[in-house]
Structure formats: C-alpha cells, structure tokens
A and B are shown apart, each in its own frame.
Chain A
Amino acid sequence: MEESTLRGAKAQSNLGAGAGNIAVLVIEDEAPIRRFLKMTLNDHGYGYKEALNGRDGLSEVAASSPSLVILDLGLPDIDGLEVTRSIRDWSDVPIIVLSARGQEKDKVEALDAGADDYLTKPFGVGELLARIRVAIRRDGRQAAASESSVVQIGAMRLDHVKRQVFFQESEVHLTPIEFKLLCALLKYPDRVLTHNHLLKEVWGQAYQGESHYLRVYMAQLRRKLERDPANPTLLITEPGIGYRLRSS
C-alpha cells in the first residue's frame, strides 16, 4: 500500500500528469485486463478501485464517488449500456467505455447515453492515459472555452464575441451552420462527439439520423480550416461514430 502510493507520487512528479488523488473505478470482468489497468493506473499516480460486474460497479460508483469510471461494455450481468444510463441518472462522473472491435453500434449508443469517450480493445497505455486526461479535464476546459472569447488551435483562431474565424491569420467566411458546428466541436475538444450529438446541437432534435448533412458541412469546414482536407489534423473522423476536434 505504502509502496504503491510512493510509486504513484514518483510517477506524478515524473510525468507531471497532475493526477493528484484522482480515483478511477474500473468495472471489468476480465481479471488480466483489470490487473493491467491497475498496474498502469497506479504507475501513473491514479487511485484504483475495481468492480467485477455491473451491479457491484453501480453501488461502487454510489458509495465511493470516483473521479472517473472505466466501464467494459460486455459485462456478465447488466449490459454496459444500462450501467451507463443508470450512472447518468444521478451522476456526471466521466465515463470511458471499453469495447471489443466490431461493436460500433454499442459504442455509439453508450456515447449517446452519456459516456464521454471510448477505447477499443486492445489498446496501449499511451492511448488510455490520453483519454483519461481528456475526460478528467473536461469540466475545466469547458469552463475555459466559454470564459475566454478567443480560442486558438493550431493555425485556426475563433473569436466568439466577434463571431470571426481566422485560418493562418486571414479571416475565413463561415456560414451560420458551419460556425455553429465548429462551436459545437470546440465545446468538447479532443472528445469524440457522435453524429447524433452534433446534429442535435447544430440542427436540432428533428435531424437525428441525417448524418450526411453533417458530413457535407464537415467537408466544407475542412476545406476552409485544413491545409490538406484529405489528411486532416484538426477535424478528425471517427468512422461510424462521429467526429473529434484535435486540439494538439
């Protein structure tokens, strides 16, 4: 116990991750994956708690209010999707879902139900830590984005107050919908936003499922804000799921 905290502290100072006393709850039935997660999380200074099934997971979330939940979608008792919904009923804790390949539909449903991000098994440590960092800083960044009127990412700059967008220091004219779409993406940088989420945000509830609208406008945005629209660096496609605005 002592050793693990010691290592955690060391890792924290080494990596400067600012993990602090962030507790991560892992809801996962596979022991090897739990072991691997425990080792990695402890190594990088995160607190670790675990639950072996959905029911235990739910009561653990209620009992210990973790800072982040890593949830496997394929649990033995309750569907991971159900767990996500139940948590969202009374908690805003960030949730990262783990899924096997070929479960795009489950992933999208989990994200639509309120999960913050996803990881496809197998995944590397780097990927895992990046997602955890994004999920945890969500609240802070959101506040920052709405506070500061000007956002600069790479060669793109957006002025909320003047409703102006610049690319490589020259102003770019955006249509109202393009502007709204960009703002919706900027609201949650680095997080995957599902098609339905973006459609609802920009066009409204009635446009659910009309994802080709989204793709056409996204293509327009890329032509205006990417050096090479065919090899984007800012507006990233997550096939079958949605889009992600990469901030670094």
Chain B
Amino acid sequence: MNTFERPAPQEFLALLKEEEAQRGRGRLKIFFGFSAGVGKTYAMLNAAAKLKESQDVVIGFVETHGRKETTELLGDLEILPRRRIEYRGTWQEEFDIDLALKRKPSLILVDELAHTNVQGSRHAKRWQDIQELIEAGIDVYTTLNVQHVESLHDLVARITGVLVQERVPDSVIENALEIELIDLPPDELIQRLKEGKVYVAAQALSALENFFRKGNLIALRELALRYTAQHVDMQMMRYRKSHMITTAYPVAERLLVCVSASPLSVRLVRAGKRMADALKARWTVAYVQPSQTFQSLKNSTETGGEEQGRSRLFATLSLAESLGADTVELSGDVARSLTDFARYNNFTKIIIGKSSRPRWQEILNGSVIDEVVRLSGPVDVYVISGDNGEDIEPKPFFASKRSRPGNYFYAVLVVTFTSFVAACLRDHFELSNLVMAYILAVVVVAVNFGRGPSIFASVLSVACFDFFFVPPFLTFAVSDTQYLVTFAVMLVIALVISTLTSRVRMQADWALQKERRTAALYELSRSLSSTINFEDLVKAGLKHIGELFYSQVALVVYDESGTASVIAGVGKGLQIDGGVAVWAYRNKQPAGLGTSTLPGARARYLPLTGFARVVGVLAVEPANSKSFNEPEQLHLLETCAAQMAIACERALLSLENEQNRVIVKSEQLRNSLLSSVSHDLRTPLATIAGAASGIVEGSENLTVEDCRKLAGEIFEQSARLNKLVGNLLDMTRLQDGSIVLHKQLFPVEEVIGSALSAYSRELDGFTIETSIESSLLESCFMVAVDGSLIQQVMINLLENALKYGPDGGLIRVSVFSQSGQAVFAVDDQGPGVPNEIRKNIFDKFYRGQSSACEGSGKKMAQGAGLGLSICAAIIEAHGGQIWVEDSALGGASFRFSLPVFQSDLSLNS
C-alpha cells in the first residue's frame, strides 16, 4: 500500500486553488535580511535595474537613507511621487497606492514591508498596500528584516531586548513567490556601520552599543538563515506536491495549542506556529471557557477584568488565525475538555503554557497541567514557559465593569444597615448570630454589586463587627483573643462567598449572553431559510442584523460589469461610501469602521463571502460607533454575515439554476419549433409546387377541369400556409410582448357573433348552435377585451371543433356566468380530450394524438399546434383562464373565462 505517497485530495484542491489564485495576481519577491544595513535596498535596486530593459519597472517608495551607492542605483528608473499627509502638524511622506494602481506598471519597488502608514492612509500597514498591488496583478519587490516577522518577533525581542511594534503576518511572507536572503557577515556589517555607511556617525555609535552588538547580530543572522531555509523547504514541498514527487511522510502531526485570556497566550500561539512549521503540521488553537470552578475563578483574577480578558482572548485568537491556525472554543472543565477534544480529533501534541501561579496555589487547587498530562493518554504534552515580564499588561484596579465606585458606596450602605440592625438585636441574640447577619450582607453585596464591592464589604463587615460588637466596644482592640479566630474565619467565609457568588453571577451573565447570541443566530437562520427569493432574503437578513446591532444596514451588490446596486435595510438608510465598499468587495476583507483599512468610514463594510464568490458587501453603521470595539459583538456580526453570505449564495445559485433551466427549456422549444415549422411549411409548399408545376409543365392533354382541380389544391394549401404564418406571427408578437391590449367593453354575444360571422364560410355544413345565459343578456353584461384578439381565440376554438368534430356535426357555442365571470364554451362531437393530456394541450407545438384523430375518422389534423397556445396566451393576457373538459355533446368542450362588467349606460337615453 502506498497510500502515503500520494497527496491527499484536499491537498490537490489546495494546490489548485493556489494556482488559481496565482493566475491574474502579481508576484511578490522579498529581499530578506537580518538587520538594517546589510544591503537589501541595494540588492533590490540592482535586481530591478537588470529588469528595466524588458519590463515596465517603477519605484513606488524607496528610502535610500542618504547612502551614496544606493542613490546612484536609482539611476533613470521612474519614481512615483509620494503622497504627503499632514499628521499632527508635520508633513509625512507616504507611498501613494492609488497612484501606483493607476499607473499599473508590471513591477513596482516598495521598500520596507513592515512599515506602518501614517494615520489617514488607506491601510494601517504597508504590507496591506502591497497585497492590494499583488491582487491588482502587479509584481512587487520589497524588503524585510527578520525582526519584523510576526512569528519571530518575540524571539528577536528576547535576543536583542528591543520589542518591535511593526510586524508582518507570516502568511504574507509565505505567499511570496521568492525570498532572497541578503547576507553579510556581522563583522563586515559592523565595519560598515563604523564607516558611517549605515547611519550617520552619532547614531551609529549608540546603535553599535545597543542593537548592533556582535552577539546580537550573529543570533539574528542565524534566525534569518533558518527562516529562509524554512521558506525554501516549503517551496520544495510545494514543488513536490505539484510534481507528485512524494515520499512517505510520517502520519500527519496535529498540534493543539491551548490558550487562555492570559496576556502570555500570544507567546503560546507564536511558539505553536514555529513548532507547527517545523513539523509541517496542521495546528489548532483552542480556548476553553471554564465551567464555574474555584480554580478558573482564580485564573480570572489573575488575568484582570472579565471584559479586558475577553478582548485579549479575541486578539489572541485573531493572531492565531492570521498565523494560519484553526480556532475552536470549548467549554467545561479545562483539562478534560481539552484532552477529549485532542483525542477525538486525532491531535498528536498539545501545547500548554506553564502556570505562573505560586506553588501553594497549585497544591491547593491542583494544576491544570498535571491534569492534562494525566488525561492526555497517547497525546504528547508540551509545556511552554510563560514567564515573560514585558508582555504582561498592568492589572486594572477595578476588575469588573460593574465595580464602579458607586457600588462601593452601596456596599458601605449595606454594611452600615446591617450594623444598625445587629445593634438592635444584640440584646436578644448571641454574637455568633450577628456574624451571620454580616455574612448575609456580604452575599447581598456580592449578588448585586460584583466582586470588588463584596470583598470590600467582607473586610468592612469584620471591622464593624469588631468595632461595635466585640468588647471593648467602639475600638478595634480585642480583649478576648478567641475573637481573632472569629474574625479570620468570618473574613475567609465572606471572601469565599463573595467570590463564588459573583462568579455565579458572571457565569449567568455569560450564559445569558451566549443564549442571546444563539437565539439571534437561530432567528436569523430561520428567517433566511424561510425564503429562496434573493430580494426577500436580503431584506429579511438586513432587517434582522439591523435590529440585532441597532444599526443602519444595507447590502451593496455588484453585477458582472461591476456596477453597484444598493439594497437598503429598514430605517433611514445609510450613506454608502462606494470606495470602501468596492475595496472590501475586491479584496474580500472587511473595511471601514473598526478595521485597519479606511477606518475613517462611518460604517463597517463586510464582504459576504460564500463558497465560490463574494455575494456582495454588507454595510453596517451602528448607532453608537464604539459598539464594534467589543469583540463579542464583532464576532457575532461576522457570524451573521457568514450566514447571510451562504444564504444569499444559495439564493443566487438557485436563481441561476432556474435561468439555466429556462434556457434549456427555450432551447428545446426552439428545436421543436424548427422541426415543426419546417415540416408544416414544407408540406403545403410541396403540394403547391407540385400542383403548379403540373399546370406549367402539363401536356396538351391536360383539360381545363384538371387545371382547375390543381389550382384548387394550390388555393387550399396556400390558405393553410397563410394560417400557419399568421399563427407564427401572432405567437411571436404575443411572446415578445409587442402586442398591446386595446381593451374595450363588448357585449358577450358580440364576442361570439363577430367570430361566427368572420368564420361563417368555413363553418358551412356544420350545425352551429348558440346559447347565451339569459341573465347575461338581460342586464347587458360586458367583457373588457381586445376585440380582434378575442375573435382570434374564438376562431381558433371553432377551427379546432371543425378539425376534430365529425363532418356536418353539431358545434355549440355558449356563454354563461359562473362566480362573477363569463364563461365561453365551444363544444364539439369529436373524440374529446383524454384526461392525461389536458394540461399539455395548451403548450406550444402540442398536437392531439394521432389515435384521437383516427378515432374521429378524419385525416391527421393539420397545423403547427399553435392555435390553442395562442388562445391560452391571449386569454392569460386578459386575466382569464382557459381549459378543456368533457362536453355534453360527447366531444370536448373548450372553455375560457373572462371577468364581466355590467354596463352602466342608460340604454334608453
């Protein structure tokens, strides 16, 4: 078995997608170095200079730092003007992306991939600019230093002691087609620095002492070399995959990184990324929402406020996603749910952070790590150190949002009240019972005012108890040392109760919020699934999202030509910023309010990305522009958008399906039209041509009588042709809607009469019977019809009756009223219409079955089977109905109904 030697189907798919994406996109080449001054820009310009003969090369933004050799290299390359942006009083020069996109060279040089743009630019980061250039099909050369790589930056910080703020996500670098390492031995770099080739002399000196120490440089160089090697390795893998050179890989490793709301979790994520890359493993970052245990409570105290913790958690998970991990949220007991998840999903390794809690706490509460190790079974557990001071943010003094200063005041109030009540009761109760009253007070505070105030109340209670009730009274002094035990126990009980109670409360809030979120999503999905019509669906979705987020919402939809059309939600509607919407649509990324792209917009623009395409862009303008700062809300909004995208895509697909079906059907129709018409045209034409040539080429023996017979044949067939052509013309005009109904009021008998008199010659030999319900006649009911079209209907029905009825038979034409409508009927004595074809008989080119015709003893009926479908089209255009049923005469009864009006004309005027 060589199952391992072939890439799995999903790998193929990924490869295909990659190639697909590569097509039409620009290519990115990164000149990668371990430090400033190694000559990245120089190398980049050198490479560009070689290409300028064969390609349209433009310099988008290059910083020469006044270095002579570099400046010389700029040579005669075209340099795009920079954009000047005023920021806090000074003018800053930035790369002008709009200009670059407009100029659209084949290759553009943009220095410093990690650069952070000045506020007011389109994107917060330069790598976003560059990605947009690539999306637009422009090749880009850029430079990058190793300390700016997201997954390496903390390592670098540990080596150099300098924490860089400008970081580039690994995915950007991984997607680069090429990485060229610009290397220089550290000694040479230091030499260059000393010569002032990198920085001006004064700067150089301080730089030498700090960053450019030789030890640092060697470490950085190694990091850069290794990173490049990894990238090369990845390319190698890709090459192998695409060329199907596969050797047996070990069974795929899967990594599970467990994070918490702790600020240290980002380090875990980065470590996970490095490890996953090294193992070429898929990795998942899991967060466990702890169940209500004392232990998790402790965690939450450590990590600061609930609110802040959650937003940090969200940031951690976003980082993980940007580094290419899947993320999951679990709940329950941390260790158990983690190990269960790992086992059921075939993870091979778990990465978990080393606890920074004191030893005694671990002994007291047990350690999560121990628990995980105990439960992990076959899964390896890696514990990563978590001691890194610089990442830890200061703990906020007020942990919870609810712990406002006012709440402390209430805590004081409650304790004071309790003291008052206790003072009243002290003569009747033991002191121990008064302690209970204080504990009750602490519970009340904990339930109503949160953790901080309840802890405060605990301390205050002990103090009051001591002050007022423990002898000597009104001092904090204690005469009986036993009371110290009372105080201690009382304080501990109060603290435990207060933390537990407030924890329960937070859990309840959390559950409530989760419940609301689930309910909202459920509602949304229900309203989205209730309809398949795109317009209705969008309206329902927008209404829902608008209500959920107290926002003005709209959907911008783009057609093939890129023209935008806006479907507004309920409410006043919002001002769509077309530019932002288009950006979000093209780049498939959220933009506007609260994002790093064009954050100045008033609304947030979310692309609705389905499986195969971007359906449109959802614009959401919240009533309060700060409401999107909450990760909770954002997550919910994104989930809603995803649901809506899928629903919209489903609707669009079904619409397209329908259209395709119609196309297929009309194609079938066209074919049957062609065959039918060519047959029906040729038959009479053949007869005419034959008869005419008989006369023209006839011999002397041809008598006048013979000629007359032949001419008669010609006459008959030409009449048939005329009828057919007329029908075809009518059908075409009815179908393309060029027939405008000239409705006028007609008395019902005139509808019949005009047709009978126009068709009287053909009806010769048949017995025609008319009957009109007397009530219709007496009160002079009228129908609003187009006279000539309705005459056409009647004639077609009469013709049908002639065709199928026996010669000289009875044809009855009648009108009667039925539930407010006038029903016209043409009855014949023919074979009738079998039940099973009654529905199809009004379809185009449907012809009565030949057996039915034989039954009538007549030759096969002629005509292209258009007569009845024309009738149906005309009657439908009049808002009536047409059908066929059995006739009392034994044959078929074709009937149509039309709305009636009573004439308001006074007839005797």
A residues touching B (Cβ–Cβ < 8 Å)?
Answer: 101-102, 104, 122, 124, 175, 177, 211-213, 215-220, 222-223, 228-233, 236-240
Q: Of residues 265 to 317 in B, which have CB atoms within 8 Å of A's CB atoms?
A: none
Binds A, one of B60-68, B748-756, B891-899: B748-756
A43 vs B413: C-alpha distance when bound (angstroms): 126
Indicate whether A230 sits within 8 Å of B907 (C-beta atoms), given known contacts A101-B729, A215-B747, A240-B787.
no
Would you give the 0/1 interface string for B717-741, flagging 1 where the beta carbon is closer than 8 Å to chain A? Answer: 0110010001001000100000000
Are B813 and A230 within 8 A (Cβ)? Answer: yes
**When A and B form their complex, which 3 residue pairs have the shortest distance between CB atoms, in order from nearest?**
A237-B754, A219-B747, A230-B770
Would you give the 0/1 interface string for B788-823, flagging 1 where the beta carbon is closer than 8 Å to chain A? Answer: 101100000000000000000000010100000000
In the complex, which residues of chain A have a beta carbon less than 8 angstroms from the beta carbon of B753? 222, 229-232, 237
B758 CB within 8 Å of chain A: yes
Q: B780 is contacted by which of A216, A236, A238 (Cβ under 8 Å)?
A: A216
7 contacts between A and B (CB under 8 A): A102-B733, A124-B715, A216-B782, A216-B907, A231-B756, A237-B750, A239-B791
In the complex, which residues of chain B have a beta carbon less than 8 angstroms from the beta carbon of A211? 744
Sample of 14 further A-B pairs with CB below 8 A, known A231-B752, A232-B753: A101-B726, A102-B729, A102-B733, A122-B719, A212-B744, A212-B782, A215-B746, A216-B747, A218-B750, A219-B750, A230-B753, A231-B813, A232-B757, A238-B754
Our count of residue pairs bridging A and B at CB distance below 8 angstroms stands at 88
In the complex, which residues of chain B have a beta carbon less than 8 angstroms from the beta carbon of A222? 749-750, 753
In the complex, which residues of chain A have a beta carbon less than 8 angstroms from the beta carbon of B733? 102
A232 vs B788: C-alpha distance when bound (angstroms): 17
B206 CB within 8 Å of chain A: no
A237 vs B733: C-alpha distance when bound (angstroms): 24
Q: B758 is contacted by which of A104, A216, A223, A239 (Cβ under 8 Å)?
A: A239
B424 CB within 8 Å of chain A: no
A215 vs B749: C-alpha distance when bound (angstroms): 11
A90 vs B386: C-alpha distance when bound (angstroms): 113
Q: A213 is contacted by which of B718, B752, B757, B905 (Cβ under 8 Å)?
A: B905
A43 vs B49: C-alpha distance when bound (angstroms): 96
Name the distance in Å between A202's Cβ and chain B's nearest Cβ: 12
Indicate whether A220 sits within 8 Å of B907 (C-beta atoms), given known contacts A101-B726, A232-B753, A237-B757.
yes
B637 CB within 8 Å of chain A: no
Are A122 and B722 within 8 A (Cβ)? Answer: yes
Interface size class of B (residues with CB under 8 A): 35 or more
In the complex, which residues of chain B have a beta carbon less than 8 angstroms from the beta carbon of A216? 745, 747, 780, 782, 903, 905, 907
Indicate whether A215 sits within 8 Å of B715 (C-beta atoms), given known contacts A101-B729, A223-B777, A236-B757.
no
Q: A231 is contacted by which of B747, B770, B780, B908 (Cβ under 8 Å)?
A: B770
Q: Which residue of A lies closest to B721 (CB)?
A: A122
In the complex, which residues of chain A have a beta carbon less than 8 angstroms from the beta carbon of B412? none
B54 CB within 8 Å of chain A: no
B772 CB within 8 Å of chain A: yes
In the complex, which residues of chain B have a beta carbon less than 8 angstroms from the beta carbon of A104? 788
Name the distance in Å between A242's Cβ and chain B's nearest Cβ: 11
B634 CB within 8 Å of chain A: no
A177 vs B749: C-alpha distance when bound (angstroms): 20
A151 vs B742: C-alpha distance when bound (angstroms): 36
Q: Of residues 857 to 909 in B, which have CB atoms within 8 Å of A's CB atoms?
A: 903, 905, 907-909
Most A CB atoms within 10 A — which of B733, B745, B757, B770?
B757
Q: A239 is contacted by which of B745, B777, B788 (Cβ under 8 Å)?
A: B788
B768 CB within 8 Å of chain A: yes
A11 vs B173: C-alpha distance when bound (angstroms): 103
Q: B744 is contacted by which of A102, A122, A215, A228 (Cβ under 8 Å)?
A: A215
Are B745 and A219 within 8 A (Cβ)? Answer: no
In the complex, which residues of chain B have a beta carbon less than 8 angstroms from the beta carbon of A232? 753, 756-757
In the complex, which residues of chain A have a beta carbon less than 8 angstroms from the beta carbon of B907? 175, 216-217, 220
Q: Which residue of A lies closest to B763 (CB)?
A: A231
A177 vs B909: C-alpha distance when bound (angstroms): 8
Name the distance in Å between A89's Cβ and chain B's nearest Cβ: 30
Are A229 and B749 within 8 A (Cβ)? Answer: yes
Indicate whether A122 sits within 8 Å of B718 (C-beta atoms), given known contacts A175-B907, A216-B780, A239-B787.
yes
